Every structure is written in C-alpha cells, then in structure tokens.
A and B are shown apart, each in its own frame.
Chain A
Amino acid sequence: MSIIDWFAKREKNTVDTTEKLNIPGHLWIKCDHCQEILFQKDLKDNAHVCPKCGFHFRMVAMDRLALIFDPASFVPEDENLGPTDFLSFSDSESYTDRIRKAQAKTKRQDAVVSGMATLNHNPISVAVMDFSYMGGSMGSVVGEKITRTIERGLAKRCPVVVFTSSGGARMQEGIMSLMQMAKTSGALDLLGRAGIPYVSVLCDPTTGGTSASFAILGDFNFAEPGALISFAGPRVIEQTIRQKLPDGFQRAEFLLSHGMVDRVVDRRELRATLSLVLDMVWGCPAV
C-alpha cells in the first residue's frame, strides 16, 4: 500500500486489523482473506498467520521481536528520539497534532523500534518499523534510528536485520524526509565495505521512499507472503497509465519472479531462515 492508498483506505475503514486484535474482550477475529472466524489466541500462537489459508496479518513490533529473536533478549536503543514540526507543516491538521495522536495511539515516539537482540545467542542489531504510526512513514527520526541501527552493527561487528513496513517518506518533514533515503543507504555502503551482513525483511506494505532505499538493499531481501512492495503505489500507477493493474502486481511473489527478492518466507519459518543464512555468511551457529 502506498501512502496514498493508506489515506484512501483510512477514509473507508478507520479500524485496521491489528487494532481489532488489541481491543480487550475481542476473542475472535475474521480473516481478511478467507473469511474464517478465528480465535485470537490461535492466531497469536500461529505467528499471526491464518491457520486455514496462510494469510499473514500485520504484526506489532514487539510481537515480531518476540517471535524472531531469543526470548527477552531485545534491548531497545534511542527510545528518546522524537519528531518535531520544524517546517510548521499544516494541512487539515497540524503535524504537531498528528504526532500527538500517533504517539497516544502507539505509545511510542515514532514509527520504528530499534535496539540489540540475540538470535541463537548471537548479537544482532535490529530495527522494526511500525505501520500503525502514521503509516510507518519515514521522517528524520525513522531515518536516524535506522542509520544508528546500521552504525551499531558496524561498531559491534554484528549482523543488521531490519523489518520494513512503511508507506514511504513523511510529507510533513518535506525535503528532510527525502534526505533520509540517502543517509540510510549511505550507512549501508559503510556496512557493506566492512563485510557485515544486512538482512532486509520486507513486510506489508513497503513502498515509496522506504522501498527505494534501505528496504531493497539487503544482502538478503526476504519478503513476507502477499506483502505489497512497490516504488509507486498502485493507485498512482493506475492514474498515470489509465488501465487496470494485473492480479498480484507488486506483491511479494511478483517481486520474487522479477528477481527483486531472494525468497518469499512464511513467517513461521523466518527465524530458521535468518539463522541459516547468517550462519552461512557470518558464522552464527544455532546452538
């Protein structure tokens, strides 16, 4: 989903799937894909993947960290970094108000969680984007935290793993959001020179400025099944070329067949896949 589609969808349906999951007392949920009624607990025990059809629900950052890394191994960093309305940007709502609302809703400063974790007791510098915070859009804080995540990998000489989910650059920070693409990609040049592996896990959705920078530059690009991954959003393309887009266009499987990702990996096998490739290139044996 591009940021445009996200806004369009938000008009129609203000409650997204993950929010439904978080409402206490709601014990069941309907699968968006096969319409099966699922118990919330069954879904959670199955890595938020529909047991019937395999549909991958969006996941909140902390659940994802718990699923992939060693139990309780995650230590957050840079939690104090927060956004500021330095352009005095105001549309129907001021950026300051949008920040306040997003922070209240997600209980975090901005759209990414980062820090150190371990995988089979091997240290990993990790970042997870949070789509529920202003569509996971990348402004100064996201760019800075991703860059620091890469630089931590460089300083500690450990692999870097980033989970992306983002509608693209954050318009409310104007040109500064665009420059985060150069900053994050540039940090990856340093990491690459140092011979340290970088894994990008592309989750639904990864579009715009995020897809055109650190998200697509992994030594390994792994995509979650069905994830929308694109530079230009489907709506923008449809408006430009004035024709309907083919089924499955810009989905993870489409990117696989066009050579843009290494593998489409079922979330339930993601930990094993990460462990295997990192052991192959870096020597992170699963103990």
Chain B
Amino acid sequence: MKLLPFEKPLGELYEKIEQLKTLSRESDIDLSSEIKKIEKRAEAVREDIYQNLTPSQVLQIARHPNRPDSLSFFRLISEDFIELHGDRAFGDDPAIVGGLGRIDGRRVMWIGHQKGHDTKENIRRNFGMPNPEGYRKALRLMQMANKFGLPIVTLIDTPGAYPGIEAEERGQAEAIARNLREMMGFGVPIVTFVIGEGGSGGALGIGVANRVYMLENAVYSVISPEGCASILFRDAKQADIAAKNLKITAKDIVGLGVADGIIPEPLGGAHHDWSSVSLAIKAQILRDLAEMSTQTPETLRQSRYAKFRAMGVFTS
C-alpha cells in the first residue's frame, strides 16, 4: 500500500519491525520484546497522526490511489448491479458511471464519478473528470429512476469537471446547470455520499440530494486548494493554507450545514478496509430510504428545495 508523505515516520517504524523480524529469524536471537516495543510505539504514532490530520493531509487520503471507487462500492453494497451506458446523444463518458442495483431487496439507481487505481485506468477514466456527456448520462439515468419511482444514490469523487476544448464546445456549463435544476425537481428520494474528492461544480452536478453525507476523510470544496492557492496566494505551493481557509473537511462541511452526517472510516482511511466502509454506507442508505419511502413526491421535492434554499450566510 502506498504510504502518504505524512505517514513516513510510521513507514520507518514498520520497516524497522520487518528488519528485526528477519534478523530474529535468521540469527535465532529472541527479539520479540524489542519488536513488541516498536510495535507499541508504531501504534501510538499511528493514532497521533490520524487524530490530528491537517486539511491537506485529509485531502491526500481522499485522493489515495487505493481508495474505494464508485463501481466497487456499487458491487459491494448492492446485489444484481447492472451498469448502463451512454447519454443517447454523443457518447459514453467513462468518468461517470451508473446503473441499477438492489440493496437488501430495495431497487435503486446508482450514479457515481469513477476514478482508476492505476495510471492506465485513470487515463481511461480521465482521472474522474467528466465531460458534458457524463452529466447527460447521469441525467438520463436519473430521469429513468424518476419515471419508475426508484430512489437515486449518487457517489461523488472527482477533482472537477474536465476543463477542455471539446467539453466547452459541447456545453459543460449547460450540462451541469441542467442537472442542478432537474435534480431539484425529481419526485424520488436522492441520497448522496462524497466518497473522496468533491471538486466544485463537477461534484455538485450529481449532488443535489435530500440527504448528503461525507465519508470521514472525504473533502468538498468550491475550488481545489491548489487552484485557490495559485489565484489568491499566487503560489500553488500555498495549497496547505488554502485548504485550511476553504474549510473542506467532513467536520467543516457538516458544521456549515451542507452535509447531514459523517460516515466513519477505519483508522488511516477507507483504503485499509473497503468492506467496513461499504457496510456503513449501506446501513445509512437503508435508514434513509426507509424514512423517505412513505413521503410523497411533492414532499420529497419540497424538502430538497428547502434544504438548499436555506444555504447561505449573510447579514440583513
């Protein structure tokens, strides 16, 4: 597993433990008390690191290459998942995926940004940065869900919508804006989880939901800390400070009333244990869908609008 820069002290301790173990095996000297001591120290260091993460360290966890991805979550959480492709107008964007699945027998429409775990897959998925046809595929599938009365569950994980020539030509702004408006009008429950990076309008484009949750080490931001730093601080290296200023962590986002709750992750991050995180997300979906299953389409629409209508801080 790739160690993040701030995990280096931990990596060194783990290496030492390995060395001692090898030495003990090869030389027949009993080093078990020595090893135990270092293991104990590693445990303390580990807790110390993860209980005091800075926003930019959280961001690194949110971007970890082994972090669970949308398609994996769909398959871990639901039975009978079947992926559906294409926007029926231009193409099929690999950076947004969707399809039908059953969660403990409840049928849902899944939508999510899709990143890869290695360079090859990331290039195919455009690093999870959708083009307009991705948002239009998502819209088509959500409209289908609305038509058949199926709840929608979306997973957010993108650095942002792709900034490219063709994306602009095909109406990136229009594709996102239309999703914001249409999602507000659906008469079925919508639940959103920010599972990794919630990057700007590209994230929100599938995030207008009745309930919004942050995974513990996920981030949600109006602009990437690097982008913000290069504009306001005129130096991309100031991203740490920008990350602090922007208030992007799960705690901040819940504190501001933009998300409703936090899905806990194992110590060190979701990449250490995909299945426990899947179970936590699944439990949350089932709770919310049970609660919302008795609400009328009009109530679902109205409460979703009321939720976003209340967002904003100003003086009057």
Contact = CB atoms under 8 A, between A and B. Distances in A.
Interface of A: 3-4, 7, 80-84, 86-87, 89-92, 140-141, 143-144, 147, 169-171, 173-183, 185-190, 192-193, 208-209, 211-217, 229-233, 236-237, 240-241, 245-246, 249-250, 258-260
B180 A240 contact: no
A175 B180 CA distance: 16
A91 B177 contact: no
B98 to A, nearest CB: 20
Contact of B309 (A90, A186, A215): A186
Contacts of A170: 222
A153 to B, nearest CB: 15
8 contacts: A80-B316, A147-B309, A171-B228, A174-B222, A182-B204, A213-B201, A241-B165, A258-B169
Contact of A183 (B167, B247, B312): B312
Nearest to A11: B234
A185 B180 contact: yes
Contact of A181 (B165, B174, B180, B316): B180
A258 B165 CA distance: 12
Nearest to A167: B231
A260 to B, nearest CB: 5
A83 B169 CA distance: 35
B228 to A, nearest CB: 5
B313 A231 contact: no
Tell me the dominant secondary structure on chain B's binding face.
Answer: helix
B312 A140 contact: yes
B222 A175 contact: yes
Nearest to A151: B309
A185 B172 contact: no
Contacts of A140: 311-314
B314 A144 contact: yes
B170 A258 contact: yes
A216 B174 contact: yes
B222 A232 contact: no
Contact of A176 (B227, B234, B312, B316): B312
Contacts of A143: 312
A91 B245 CA distance: 8
A183 B314 CA distance: 15
B208 A182 contact: yes
Contacts of B184: 182, 185-186, 189
A232 B185 contact: no
With a 10 A CB-CB cut-off, give which of B169, B182, B230 has the most chain A CB atoms: B169
